[in-house]
Structure 1
Amino acid sequence: VRTLCVEKAKFEGLNIVQPKMKRDDRVKARKMIGSVSTALQIGKRKGSTPPDMCAITGHKRVLAYQKTAEDRQMISKGLKDNKILSEVVGLTQQQCNQVVDGTHLIEVPQGTHVFKKGDLGTALFIVQEGLLKVDLVTFEVVLRIGDTFGELALLYDEPRTATIEATRDCRLWVLPRTMFKDMLQSTAVLKAKEHSMMLHQVPVIREQVDLALLSVLAGALEETVLDKDEFLCVRGEDEGMLFLIVSGFCTVTDHDEDDEGKTGLLKGDWVGEKQLADMVPATRTVVVKSEKATVLALDNYHFDLVRQASQDHTVLQQVRALNGSAQEVSNWLKKRRASTTQRRPSTISERGVPLRQIKDFDTVGALGEGNFGLVLLLRDKETREEYALKGLNKQHLEQEKQEAMVKNERNVLAVLDSPFIIHMHGCFHDSHFVYFLLEVALGGELFDIYNDYNLWGKADKAQFYIACVALGLSHIHSKHIVWRDLKLENCLVNSQGYAKLTDMGIAKMVTGKTYTVCGTADYFAPETLKQVGHNRAADWWALGVMLFIMMAGHSPFDAPEVTQIYKNIIKGLSKVQFPAAFPPEAEECVRSLCRKKPEE
Structure 2
Amino acid sequence: MATVQTNPSGHTGGDESKLNDNKNTISLLKSILSNKPIDGSDITTLDDATHELKRIRQLMEQYNHHHTAAPTSSSAAAAAKTKPTETPVQVNADKDQHGATHEPVVDDSTEYAFGQSTRQRRTAVLEKQHIKDYVKNSIPKQPHVRELILNAIKTNLLFQQNNKDELSELVDVFEPVHFNQKDMVFQQGDSGHDACYVVEQGQLSVYVSHNGGPYHMMGTYHGGKLFGEWALVYGSPHLATVVCDVDCKLWRIKRSWYRGVVGQHRQKLIETLTKKFLPKVFLPRNKEKIYFKNLFNPTQMVTLAGLTKQISFQEGDFIIRESEKGDTFYMIQKGVVDLFIKAMKDVPITALDGGKYFGERSLLQDDVRQATLRAQTDVTCFLLTREDVNRVIGSLEEILEHGFPPKRLRMSTIQRDEKVQYELYDLELFGKLGSGAFGEVRAAKAKQTEKYYALEMKSKSFIVTNGQEDAVMNEYSILRELDHPFIVRLHCAMQDEKYIYFLADIHHDLIDIMDQKGSFSEDCTRFYSASVLLAFQAMHSNSIVYRDLKPESLALDDRGYCIINDLGLAKKCEGHLYTFCGNPDYLAPEVIRGTGYNWGVDYWGLGVLIYELYTGTAPFESYDPTGTAKKILKGIVNFPDKVTGPMKDLIKALLTKDQTRRLGVLKGGTEDVMKHRFYTGFDWEGLLNMQIRAPFELQPVTYYKPLETPDSQEDSAMPVVNWNPVFGE
Q: Distance in 1 between matches of 2:445 and 2:515?
A: 29
Q: Taking structure 1 as the reference length, what is the TM-score of the superposition?
A: 0.64
Runs of 5+ consecutive residues of structure 1 not aligned to the other structure: 44-54, 57-62, 226-244, 249-264, 271-289, 299-347
State which of 554, 566, 570 in structure 1 corresponds to 2:633.
570
Report the AA paired with residue 71 of structure 1. V
- Provide, for residues 176-232 of structure 1, a one-character-per-residue CA deviation record: whole Å limited to 9, x for no partner: 4444335435356446544553343467868879xxx9977632558689xxxxxxx
Contact 1:127/1:172, CA 8 A, preserved across alignment: yes
TM-superposed CA distance for 1:361, in Å, is 1.2
TM-score (norm. length: structure 2): 0.54
Is 2:270–2:306's contact at 8 Å kept on the other side of the alignment? no
Q: What is the distance in 1 between the residues matched to 2:433 and 2:122?
A: 19
1:449 maps to which residue? 513
**Residues 458 and 13 of structure 1, relative CA distance in 2, 3 Å threshold:** farther
Q: Which residue of 2 aligns with 1:356?
A: 423
Post-superposition offset of 1:518:
1.7
Cα deviation for residue 113 of structure 1 reads 7.0
Offset from partner CA, 1:388-410 (integer Å, 9 cap, x none): 01112333445555444333322
Distance 1:159 1:370 in 2: 23
CA distance in 2, matches of 1:532, 1:207: 25
Distance 1:561 1:10 in 2: 35
Deviation at 1:507, TM superposition (A): 1.7
- Within 5 A, what are the aligned runs for 1:275-354? 294=390, 297=393, 353-354=420-421
Query: Closer, same or farther in 2 for the Cα pair 1:423/1:115, shift >3 Å?
Result: farther
Map Cα deviations across residues 144-179 of structure 1 (whole Å, 9 max, x no partner): 5544344234335x4654797875655432224444
The change in CA–CA distance for 1:492 and 1:215 in structure 2 (over 3 A counts) is closer
Residues 10, 562 of structure 1: CA spacing in aligned structure 2 closer, same or farther, 3 A cutoff?
farther
User: 1:522 aligned to 2:585?
Assistant: yes
1:322 corresponding residue in structure 2: none
Tell whether the 8 Å contact from 2:197 to 2:226 is kept in structure 1 after alignment: yes
Q: For residue 491 of structure 2, give the secondary structure of its aligned residue in structure 1.
A: strand
Question: 1:218/1:385 Cα in 2 relative to 1: closer, same or farther (>3 Å)?
Answer: same
Aligned pairs (5 A) from 1:128-277:
128-129=200-201, 138=212, 139=215, 144-155=222-233, 158=235, 161=238, 170-185=248-263, 186=265, 189-190=268-269, 193-194=272-273, 196=275, 197-201=277-281, 218-219=301-302, 221=304, 266-268=361-363
- Residue type at the aligned position of 1:200: K
Task: Say which SS state the counterpart of residue 149 (structure 2) adopts.
Answer: helix
Q: CA deviation at 1:474?
A: 1.0
Q: Residue 31 of structure 1 aligns with which residue?
A: 125
Change (3 A) 1:415 1:120: farther
Give 1:95 deviation, angstroms: 3.9
- Kindly indicate whether the alpha-carbon contact (under 8 Å) linking 2:553 and 2:566 is maintained by their aligned counterparts in 1: yes
Contact 2:546 2:571 in 1 (8 A): yes
Cα 1:447–1:72 change in 2 (3 A) is: same
Considering only CA atoms, is the larger Rg found in Structure 1 or Structure 2?
A: 2
- C-alpha contact 2:490 2:505 (8 A) present in aligned 1: yes
Give the structure, 1 or 2, with the largest relative contact order (CA under 8 Å, sep 6 or more).
Answer: 2
Partner of 1:102: 173
1:20 to 116, 127, 150: 116
Counterparts of 2:427 and 2:303 in 1: how far apart (Å)? 45
Q: Is the 8 A contact 2:612 2:619 kept in 1?
A: yes
Instruction: Indicate how the Cα distance of structure 1 residues 67 and 501 shifts in structure 2: closer, same or farther if over 3 A, else same.
Output: same
CA–CA separation in structure 1 for the residues paired with 2:250 and 2:267: 30
Question: Which residue in the other structure is 1:5 paired with?
Answer: 70
1:533 Cα deviation after fit: 2.2
Q: Does 1:588 align with 2:649?
A: yes
1:124 aligned to which of 190, 193, 196:
196
Name the structure 2 match of 1:412.
Answer: 478
Q: Contact conserved, 1:111 with 1:165, CA < 8 A, in 2?
A: no
Amino acid of the structure 2 residue aligned with 1:374: E
In 2, distance between residues paired with 1:219 and 1:195?
A: 6
Query: 1:397, 1:200 → 2: CA distance?
Result: 45
Label 1:577 to 1:388 Cα distance change in 2 as closer, same or farther (>3 A). Answer: same
1:439 corresponds in structure 2 to 505
The answer to whether structure 1 residue 548 and structure 2 residue 600 are counterparts is no
CA distance in 1, matches of 2:548, 2:439: 20
Q: Which letter maps to 2:513?
A: I
Identical-pair percentage: 26
Question: Given that residues 378 and 387 in structure 1 are in contact (C-alpha distance below 8 angstroms), is that contact kept between their aligned partners in structure 2?
Answer: yes
Residue by residue over 1:571-598, the C-alpha shift from the partner in whole angstroms, topping out at 9 and shown as x without a partner, is 43xx433222223332232233222332
Q: Which amino acid aligns with 2:168?
A: N
Give the aligned partner of residue 552 of structure 2.
Answer: 489
Q: Aligned partners of 2:655, 2:634: CA distance in 1, in Å?
A: 11
Deviation at 1:355, TM superposition (A): 3.3
Amino acid at match of 2:171: V
Residue identity opposite 2:650 in structure 1 = C
1:293: how far off?
5.4
Does the 8 A contact of 1:192 with 1:215 survive in 2?
no
For 1:49-99, what per-residue CA distance to the aligned partner results, in whole angstroms no more than 9, with x for missing partners? xxxxxx99xxxxxx9x852333223323332464433xxx44455543332
CA distance in 2, matches of 1:407, 1:497: 30
Deviations, residues 514-536 of structure 1 (Å, cap 9, x unaligned): 22332122222233334332211
How many residues are treated as equivalent by the alignment? Answer: 457
Alpha-carbon distance change, 94 to 104 in structure 1, aligned in 2, over 3 angstroms: same
- Residue deviations 1:350-392 (CA, integer Å, cap 9, x gap): x8854312x3212243322346432111110002222101112
Q: Distance in 2 between matches of 1:418 and 1:98?
A: 45
- Give me the whole-angstrom Cα distance separating, in 2, the residues matched to 1:190 and 1:373: 39
Kindly indicate whether the alpha-carbon contact (under 8 Å) linking 1:133 and 1:140 is maintained by their aligned counterparts in 2. Answer: no
- The aligned amino acid for 1:154 is L
How far off is 1:483 after superposition? Answer: 0.9
After superposition, where does 1:450-469 map in structure 2 within 5 Å? 450-454=514-518, 456-469=519-532
Q: Compute the displacement of 1:20 (Å).
A: 2.2
Equivalent residue in structure 1 for 2:151, among 73, 77, 96: 77
Conserved in 1, the CA contact under 8 Å of 2:124 and 2:548? no
| Aligned position for 2:456 | 390
Partner in structure 1 of residue 573 of structure 2:
510
| CA distance in 1: counterparts of 2:427 and 2:458, whole angstroms | 18
CA-to-aligned-CA distance 1:528-584 (integer Å, 9 cap, x gap): 334332211210121111111112222222333544433432343xx4332222233
Give the letter for the 1:6 counterpart. Answer: P
RMSD: 4.3
Structure 2 alignment gaps of length 5 or more: 1-68, 83-112, 283-288, 309-325, 330-359, 366-385, 395-416, 662-729
Task: Give 2:122's aligned amino acid.
Answer: K
Q: Give 3-state SS (helix, strand or coil) of 1:106's partner.
A: strand
Per-residue CA shift, 1:284-328, capped at 9, x if unaligned? xxxxxx877545649xxxxxxxxxxxxxxxxxxxxxxxxxxxxxx
Distance 1:532 1:294, change over 3 A: farther
Partner amino acid, structure 2, of 1:75: I
| Residues in 1 aligned to 2:293 and 2:363: alpha-carbon distance in whole angstroms | 18
- Post-superposition shift, 1:451? 1.9
Equivalent residue letter for 2:482: L
Query: Distance between the aligned counterparts of 2:435 and 2:225, measured in 1?
Result: 43
Structure 1 Cα separation of the partners of residues 304 and 543 of structure 2? 12
